[in-house]
């Protein structure tokens, strides 16, 4: 290489360095101008549609996890996003602000929530829903404790993504509804007459005339039990049943008869007022009449009879012992 060539090479090198220096300075100016007017942000899209901007992709993913994916409730089994956000780094004007809350709202519209509940069923038919297995098991145990019926309630764990299918009840409400739906008798038992549960006394008071006694005011021995009480004292039916008679009946005065099934009837005589009519269903403890002195009576009292297959028996075999 001759001397002239070396001089030319040095010239070209200096010119090239000068050019690159100028280019770098120009690029620096351009970048500075861009950074003065613009800033980097992540554009967020859902299903290809732009919904906003965030400063940090990592930080926003943490917000999503906290507010959506970890969203919890005692009836929620799981939460899933059906559409994941798409990110693209862009330069936007300095005045552009992030709108994380709006993006979260847009993402919530794509969330699929699976709800879990426990179904109480009888003969494969759903009766009630509760929120926990503990509540369902407690209802089953409590109902088994208060009834003699062979009632086989089953508990099924269920899930659904349709919130309209949820009709979750509290423990007490669910238990009450099941008892009413299955017509379960939960009254306490103080005696049984031919398999019929006697749950309450009709009234409290002093026994003034016992079963089987003779009296000058009767043509035969006493067919029931007389209990003294103040005029107007409420009279309760002793067991569940159906009213078969409620009218004036000679020496009985105003008389109410209730059929309890298994051939068992109870009669309530000499009442001053009756609150029931034939064909009416009654439950143990319902007030059916008021104490009076109608018919063949010497003063306010209740004449109570218990009949089995049409024959009167001594009520004190079962009550007022």
- pLDDT value at 261 more than 60: yes
The secondary structure of 131-180 as a DSSP string is S-HHHHHHHHHHHHHH--S---EEEEEEEES-GGG--B--HHHHHHHHHH
For the residues 144-167, what does the mean pLDDT come to?
A: 85
Q: Tokens for 158?
A: 């269920």
Which of these ranges, 143-157, 280-294, 296-310, has the smallest mean pLDDT? 143-157
In whole angstroms, give the CA distance from residue 275 to residue 273.
7
By residue count, the chain amounts to: 321
Distances (CA, A) of 138 to 127, 176, 232: 15, 13, 42
Q: Tokens for 108?
A: 């919530």
For the residues 166-195, what does the mean pLDDT come to?
A: 86
| Average confidence score pLDDT of the chain | 87
Question: How does residue 19 score in pLDDT terms, banded at 50, 70 and 90?
Answer: low
In whole angstroms, give the CA distance from residue 28 to residue 30.
5
Q: Are 202 and 268 spatial neighbours (Cβ–Cβ below 8 Å)?
A: yes
Give the H/E segment covering residue 215: none
Torsions phi, psi of 316, nearest 5?
A: -75, 0
In whole angstroms, give the CA distance from residue 130 to residue 117.
6
Question: How does residue 108 score in pLDDT terms, banded at 50, 70 and 90?
Answer: confident
Which of these ranges, 137-146, 237-246, 252-261, has the smallest mean pLDDT? 137-146
Longest dimension (CA), the chain: 163
pLDDT score, position 236: 96
Q: Report the percent of the chain where pLDDT is more than 70.
A: 86
pLDDT score, position 212: 86
| β-bridge mates for residue 287, sequence order | 236
238: exposed, middle or buried (Cβ count in 10 Å: 0-12, 13-18, 19+)? buried
Q: CATH number of the domain at 193-317, out of 3.40.1160.10, 3.50.50.60, 3.90.1150.10, 2.70.70.10?
A: 2.70.70.10
pLDDT score, position 67: 81
Quick check: pTM over 0.85? no
Buried b (16+ CB within 10 A) or exposed e, 72-84: eeebeeebeeeee
Residue 29, helix vs strand vs coil: helix
Q: Whose CA is closest to 315, among 208, 226, 248, 217?
A: 226
pLDDT score, position 38: 75
pLDDT score, position 182: 86
In the chain, domain spans? 37-109, 115-181, 193-317
In whole angstroms, give the CA distance from residue 246 to residue 279.
10
First to last CA, the chain: 138
- DSSP state letter for 94: T
């Amino acid at each position: 290489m001759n001397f002239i060539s070396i001089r030319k090479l040095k010239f070209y090198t200096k010119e090239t360095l000068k050019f690159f220096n100028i280019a770098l300075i120009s690029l620096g100016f351009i970048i500075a101008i861009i950074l003065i007017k613009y800033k980097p942000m992540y554009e967020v899209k859902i299903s290809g549609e732009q919904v906003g901007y965030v400063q940090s992709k990592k930080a926003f993913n943490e917000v999503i996890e906290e507010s959506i994916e970890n969203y919890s409730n005692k009836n929620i089994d799981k939460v899933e996003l059906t559409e994941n956000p798409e990110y693209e780094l862009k330069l936007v004007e300095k005045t552009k602000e992030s709108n994380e809350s709006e993006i979260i709202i847009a993402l919530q519209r794509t969330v699929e929530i699976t709800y879990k509940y426990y179904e109480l069923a009888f003969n494969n038919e759903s009766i009630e829903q509760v929120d926990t297995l503990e509540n369902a098991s407690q209802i089953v145990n409590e109902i088994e404790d208060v009834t003699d019926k062979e009632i086989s309630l089953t508990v099924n764990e269920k899930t659904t993504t349709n919130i309209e299918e949820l009709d979750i009840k509290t423990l007490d409400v669910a238990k009450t509804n099941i008892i009413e739906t299955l017509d379960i008798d939960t009254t306490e038992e103080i005696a049984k007459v031919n398999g019929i549960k006697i749950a309450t006394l009709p009234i409290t008071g002093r026994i003034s005339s016992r079963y089987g006694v003779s009296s000058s005011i009767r043509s035969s021995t006493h067919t029931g039990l007389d209990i003294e009480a103040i005029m107007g004292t409420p009279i309760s039916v002793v067991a569940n049943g159906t009213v078969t008679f409620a009218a004036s009946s000679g020496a009985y005065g105003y008389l109410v008869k209730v059929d309890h099934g298994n051939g068992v009837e109870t009669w309530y005589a000499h009442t001053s007022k009756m609150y029931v009519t034939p064909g009416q269903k009654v439950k143990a403890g319902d007030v059916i009449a008021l104490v009076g002195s109608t018919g063949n009576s010497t003063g306010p009292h209740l004449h109570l009879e218990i009949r089995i297959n049409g024959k009167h028996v001594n009520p004190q075999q079962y009550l007022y012992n």
